[in-house]
Amino acid sequence: MSTRALRRHITSRIMTGLVIVLSFTAVLALFLILGNLIIKGASSLDWAFFTKSPVPAGQSGGGVANAIVGTGIVVGLAAIIGVPLGVGAGMYLAEYGSGRLGWLVRFIADVLNGTPSIVIGIVGWTFIVRPTSRFSAVAGAVALAILMIPMLARTTEEMVRLVPHSLREAALALGYPRWRTSLKIVARTALGGIVTGSLVGIARVAGETAPLLFTALGNLNFSVHITQPIQTLSLQIYVYATGPFEEWHRLAWASALVLMGLVLIISLVARWVTRQRYGRIR
């Protein structure tokens, strides 16, 4: 082997090793968190944990059924509000957003994407909680939706832009009006990506605590009323983890594990949808 070939060989080995170490470091954090949660939380997971509401402080037993249901309600409402608006805005940006208005919307979306989520919570408090004089699930959902919309708008835009221009032209040449081309051809082709983006967005906000502190507030009792304060897993973790009781800490770890599992499941579904997409239509 010539010296040059040898040098290249060695450099290649070193760089490959370096990249492997770096990627392991990156996922190490995830495994540490997950492992820690399982060690400290898994033992508390029993039937009562999923079916019972919290018991008064100091007593043992009880569960977080109220928080699990509450998370479902708040995140579900947020998705109902946020997904249509976010995806719609993304479609607009990709298909018609080449002008000044498109630039403005894109800029605002980017700023909003970078806004700390606690600020979004304050916005929810100012515009919904204060006028209605009550904390509520709806207020929490709106705060989460505001967080979701710019995220979805930008990912939808990316996905729609991936649709080849030739498909648009083919539809237009067949006599499709522009709006129908966008809806029937472009959006349908990008659907897999849009669904994936939406699920990732939903998973992101499912773990948010800060925007819910002054909006959904939290509720130690079981409640499904969307005009009343409601508990979510993230709020439950916040309260229990900072509380004084050993029992609460135990439940906080278990809740964190459940929340993490929930996000994992949504992400897996998102991956599955993506694979379906590429499996079927390349």
Partner 1 sequence: MVASANARLRLETVKLTALFGQHRAVRDVSLLFPAHTVTAIIGPSGCGKSTMLRCLNRMHELTPDASVTGEVLLDNVNIYGGAVSPVELRRRIGMVFQRPTPFPTMSIYDNVAAGLRVNGRRPRTEIDHAVSRALQQAALWDEVKDRLHTSALDLSGGQQQRLCIARAVAPEPEILLLDEPTASLDPAGTQRIEELCHVLKRLYTIVIVTHNMQQAARVSDYTAFMYLGSLIEVGKTNELFTKPTIDQTEAYITGRFG
Between residues 26 and 281, which has the closer beta carbon with respect to partner 1?
A: 281
Between residues 116 and 164, which has the closer beta carbon with respect to partner 1?
A: 164
Residue 40: name the closest of 256, 281, 279 by CA.
256
Stretch that binds partner 1, among 2-10, 81-89, 172-180, 235-243 (CB under 8 A): 172-180
CB of 168 to partner 1, least distance (A): 9
The residue count for binding partner 1 (CB under 8 A) is: 21
Residue 155: name the closest of 245, 244, 94 by CA.
94
Q: Helix/strand/coil (H, E, C) string of 93-110?
A: HHHHCCCHHHHHHHHHHH
Q: Is 22 in the site for partner 1 (CB under 8 A)?
A: no
What x-and-dash track marks residues 89-118 binding partner 1 by CB under 8 A? ---------x--------------------
Between residues 176 and 222, which has the closer beta carbon with respect to partner 1?
A: 176
Sign of the four-CA dihedral 178, 180, 182, 184:
negative
**Binding residue for partner 1, selected from 185, 206, 235, 266, defined by CB under 8 A:** 185
What x-and-dash track marks residues 55-94 binding partner 1 by CB under 8 A? ----------------------------------------
**Binding residue for partner 1, selected from 85, 123, 191, 241, defined by CB under 8 A:** 191
CB of 109 to partner 1, least distance (A): 23
Residue 212: name the closest of 269, 115, 129 by CA.
129
CB of 172 to partner 1, least distance (A): 6
Between residues 105 and 186, which has the closer beta carbon with respect to partner 1?
A: 186
**Binding residue for partner 1, selected from 1, 26, 58, 280, defined by CB under 8 A:** 280
Q: What gap in Å lies between CA 108 and CA 164, rounded to an integer?
A: 27
Between residues 172 and 263, which has the closer beta carbon with respect to partner 1?
A: 172
Q: Is 180 in the site for partner 1 (CB under 8 A)?
A: yes
Site residues, partner 1 (CB under 8 A): 98, 164, 166-167, 169-177, 180, 185, 188-189, 191, 280-282
